[in-house]
Amino acid sequence: MTSYPDFPAGASALLPPAGCPAHNAALPLAEIDAHPDPREMYRRMRAEHGPVVPVTLDGVFGWLVIGFQETKRVMREGVLYSRSPRHWRPRGPIPADWSLALHTQERPNALFATGEEHTRLRGALTRSLGRTRPGTVRRYTRDRANRLIDEFCETGSADLVAHYAAQLPLMVLMRIFGFSEQAAVRLVTALPALLDGGDKAQQANQQIMNVIEGHIAHRRRELGADAMAWLIEESDARSAQEIARSNEEIREQVWLTLASAMGAMGNWISNGLERQVNSAQMRNDVNHGLADIEGAMRATLWEQPPLQRVIGRWATRDTRLGEQDIAAGDMLVLDLAAVNQDPCMGSDAERAALAAHSEANLPYGAGEHECPFPDLAEAIAVTAVDCLLQRLPDVRLADGASLTWRPSVIVRALEALPVRFAPTARSVSASEVPLHA
């Protein structure tokens, strides 16, 4: 059941009064995404409002942060801009069927936790995933990538979203947690619906929870050497008498990791491949060693971040950000698609030079909620693109194909990436790489 922060008495009084700039100027976020040139929209918004813009998300008021320095400040000042929605004081009623409810509902995982609770949950997750060697993850990613490519390499055509990018990182992460391949296939269809929000999000979320809970129960009956078993070990060591709570925390931590695999890594791979298949020059440079995949993928992360917006920071007290007065309890949305276009980052050429340096990239986050395993994410994404370009060096966008993006305010995701290439033979399939041997 969806729950929201308690409304103070007289909640309607929280609505900005008529004539208030926030009331009159709030821009529906959907209009930005519907605009044929979002960059032009961001330029206009900066000129009118500065780096922080009043917006509505399907009718719910919030502040869209589009400035680089302001976004970094919000990420790093976790006490002032909390990740916990318990601080939220909405400026009006929340629709019962609000499409983004799942993304603002507090859950017992490291994403929403703060302080000591965040340190504990994040530590358990990073220690469990950290027991899998990065080199072994790269080998398994390449093995799984070859198996997926084998399914379409002889046909001369494929949809690199459905047939490759949407599946690969999820399968790798699920293998790290010890899930079966059948479970991975079930979640390939459920996770996009969750990330898109809307009517099907609740149903998809329940399906994901059922799959994860089933695997927790299996691991409690039958021990294994995988991240799920290690999370159970970490949690039970802390709370041996609270197995029910332990199960809920484990479920939520795994949910967070798998959603990241689909929403961030999967879309990062497809966005990186889109740049390659759309540019013969870029593809030629990579194939001939004139450019490297790591730099190309970091540039993609900069120019087309797969997670384009982070919904959910809440001001814990009245403050000022950019040119706006933020009230205690206001919601902030961080627009990662806009921050790297901030003029403060220099000219187009200067921003392009920064793109290859991961330390300048905010899609990994900053502060205490920074991505806990960026090296693992990059290893999977870079290996995925490298493997496909090695197997299909002449891959190109299908003739007459027009690309469309999923209608999501959260992720930057292609609906499909139809490509053509010279048919090639299947690989000599190696035996499956043992992850934890």
Mean pLDDT, residues 143-163: 95
Q: What are phi and psi of 312, to 5 degrees?
A: 120, 70
Tokens of 134: 């990065």
Q: Which of 295, 321, 339 is the last residue of a domain?
A: 339
pLDDT (0 to 100) of residue 361: 64
Do 89 and 132 belong together in one domain?
A: no
Tell whether 72 and 131 lie within a shared domain: no
Q: In this structure, what token pair is assigned to residue 314?
A: 């809440």
Predicted confidence at residue 198, as pLDDT, reads: 63
Q: Identify the band that residue 243 occupies on the pLDDT scale cut at 50, 70 and 90.
A: low
Residue 414 lies in a domain: yes
Query: Tokens in use for 110?
Result: 């490291």
The candidate with the shortest Cα–Cα distance to 106, out of 5, 238, 230, 220, is 5
Residue 235 has pLDDT above 80, yes or no: no
Mean pLDDT of 293-311: 86
Q: Are residues 20 and 138 in the same domain?
A: no
Count: domains in the chain: 2
CATH number (domain holding residue 232): 1.10.630.10
Asked whether residue 79 falls in the same domain as residue 131, the answer is no
- The 3-class SS string of 29-47 reads HHHHHHCCCHHHHHHHHHH
> What is the rounded average pLDDT of the residues 168-172?
90
Residue type, 89: R
Residue 319 shares a structural domain with residue 374: no
Within-domain flag for 126: yes
Would residue 355 count as lying in a domain? no
SS3 content of the chain, % helix, strand, coil (to 5): 55, 10, 35
Indicate whether 181 and 284 sit together in one domain: yes
Residue 360 burial by Cβ neighbours in a 10 Å radius (0-12, 13-18, 19+)? middle
Range of the structural domain that residue 415 is part of = 107-304+367-437
For position 314, what pLDDT does the model report?
Answer: 96
What is the pLDDT confidence band of residue 263, given thresholds at 50, 70 and 90? confident
By the 10 Å C-beta count (0-12 exposed, 13-18 middle, 19+ buried), 79 is classed as exposed
**Whether residue 172 is found in the same domain as residue 283:** yes
The residue out of 324, 339, 354 marking a domain boundary is: 339
**142 closest CA partner among 436, 437, 432:** 432
Residue 205 contacts residue 107 (beta carbons within 8 Å): no
**Residue of 57 and 346 predicted with greater confidence:** 57
Q: Would you place residue 248 in the very low, low, confident or very high pLDDT band (cuts 50, 70, 90)?
A: confident
> In this predicted model, which residue has the larger pLDDT, 238 or 178?
178
pLDDT value of position 149 = 97
CB 420 within 8 A of CB 156: yes
Shared domain for 149 and 237, answered yes or no, is yes
Domain end call among 322, 339, 356: 339
Residue 354 lies in a domain: no
Which residue is it, tokens 């070859």?
146
| pLDDT computed for residue 6 by the predictor | 39
Question: Do 48 and 129 belong together in one domain?
Answer: no
Residues 6 or more apart whose CB falls under 8 angstroms from that of 419 comprise 157, 158, 159, 160, 277, 395, 396, 397, 398
Confidence of residue 437 (pLDDT cuts 50, 70, 90): very low
In a domain, 348, yes or no: no
Residue 436: band (very low, low, confident or very high) from pLDDT cuts 50, 70, 90? very low
Question: Which pLDDT band, with edges at 50, 70 and 90, does 430 fall under?
Answer: very low
Same domain, 141 and 290: yes
Do 410 and 429 fall within a single domain? yes
CATH of the domain at 320: 3.30.43.20
> Looking at beta carbons, which pairs linking 134-139 to residues 24 or more positions away fall under 8 Å?
134/375, 134/376, 134/379, 136/433, 136/435, 136/436, 137/172, 137/176, 137/376, 137/379, 137/380, 137/435, 138/379, 138/380, 138/383, 139/433
Mean pLDDT of 273-279: 88
pLDDT range class, residue 205, cuts 50, 70, 90: confident
Higher-pLDDT residue of 285 and 2 is: 285
* 350 located within any domain: no
- Residue type at position 317: R
pLDDT in tens, 347-396: 666 666 666 554 556 777 777 777 778 888 899 999 999 999 999 999 99
The whole-number average pLDDT for the span 160-179 is 91
The pTM score is: 0.83
On whether residue 359 sits in a domain, the answer given is no
DSSP 261-316: IIIIIIHHHHHHHHHHHH-HHHHHHHHTTSS-HHHHHHHHHHHS-SB-EEEEEEES
Lowest mean pLDDT among 24-33, 193-202, 341-350: 193-202
CB atoms near residue 211 (< 10 Å): 22
Q: What percent of the chain has pLDDT over 70?
A: 83
Whether residue 315 sits in one domain with residue 171: no
Asked if the structure places residue 344 within a domain, the reply is no
pLDDT computed for residue 247 by the predictor: 84
In the prediction, which pLDDT does 64 show?
Answer: 96
